[in-house]
Amino acid sequence: MARDTKYGDFDIPGIPDDEPVFIIRGKDRCAPQTLRQYAENAERAGSPSEHHASARRQADAIEEWQKENEGKVGVPD
């Protein structure tokens, strides 16, 4: 199981049991900008284009979800 220090263990195919992960949830007001910054960093590092494009699509999806669910969005906790 992959392990996040806040949310616990996750069974994520392709991630070894001892590999730490970090979960960014859609309710986190900072999520879209964080993912976009990650995409920019990944692109500069030479990551495959589909990888950073995927991060940007997820940022867009989270931003849309946040607009539709304003009452569920808050500061990182």
For 15-67, how does the pLDDT look when each residue is reduced to its tens digit (9 = 90+)? 888 888 899 999 999 999 999 999 999 999 999 999 999 999 999 999 999 99
Assess whether pLDDT exceeds 80 at residue 4.
Answer: yes
pLDDT class for 77, splitting at 50, 70, 90? confident
Helices vs strands, H then E, count in the chain: 2, 2
Round to whole Å and give the CA distance between 43 and 5: 27
Residue 2: per-residue pLDDT: 82
pTM of the predicted model, to two decimals?
Answer: 0.86
Q: Per-domain residue ranges for the chain? A: 2-72
- What is the radius of gyration, based on Cα positions, of the chain? 14
